[in-house]
Chains A and B, each alone.
Chain A
């Protein structure tokens, strides 16, 4: 079983749609959780951190469910510019250092 799993997609949605991604992780001792965005041939960029209480940043909402070991990302009112690959990251404290593990990403295509 992979440590961090994501549906690769692609998710093909029209502008204005709401789309949700999930990411599951296998290690219950995982500490920190993030969503990243990666555009084609670019480096990943931090989109938002994820907390059990949930957090929202404009059209984006992230949620952590520790009991079921998954994190989610909800994008409302999708824009063409939201087209990208969305990566989830789970970190685990090991030997005094946080070790980040990335999912393979979920591809989102927003069309007119």
Chain B
């Protein structure tokens, strides 16, 4: 069965520090992968998506970047965090071609202090 792993679950980082969040998918190949952010009391904002290794599309220009070094690995990074980067970061995947929906990881709650 397919599973998606995301870590860490919570993170408290000072302003100006770097960030690296990792997401991996198991039990499938060539998934479409997505990074979302949900600010407190807000909706889900699509940050990046990837249809294959090394292919990254950015939806919102900002202080973050994403990379996909392997087929089932998706990484969200920042060189210098801002207070406004605080939020709930969610990774999701959708198998290419399926009529099904999107499956989310359990998320990382980031607080920038």
B46 at interface, CB cutoff 8 A: yes
Pairwise interchain contact A98-B94, C-beta atoms closer than 8 A: yes
| Chain A residues, CB < 8 A from B104 | 43-45
Q: Give the contacting residue for A89; candidates B59, B88, B102; CB below 8 A.
A: B102
Task: Report B108 CB to chain A, min CB distance, Å.
Answer: 10
B 47-78 to A, binary, CB cutoff 8 A, 1 in contact else 0: 00101000001010000000000000000000
Q: Give the contacting residue for B101; candidates A36, A41, A103; CB below 8 A.
A: A36
- Identify which of residues 79-105 in chain B touch chain A, using a CB-to-CB cut-off of 8 Å: 88, 90, 94, 99-105
Pairwise interchain contact A44-B44, C-beta atoms closer than 8 A: yes
| Chain A residues, CB < 8 A from B88 | 41
Across the A-B interface, how many residue pairs have beta carbons closer than 8 Å?
53
Give the bracket for the number of chain B residues in contact with chain A.
20 to 34
Q: A43-B104, A96-B51 are in contact. Are A105 and B90 (CB under 8 A)?
A: no
A 31-55 to B, binary, CB cutoff 8 A, 1 in contact else 0: 0101010000111111001000000
Chain A residues at the B interface, C-beta cutoff of 8 Å:
32, 34, 36, 41-46, 49, 87, 89, 95-105
| Cβ-closest 3 pairs across A and B | A104-B43, A43-B104, A46-B101
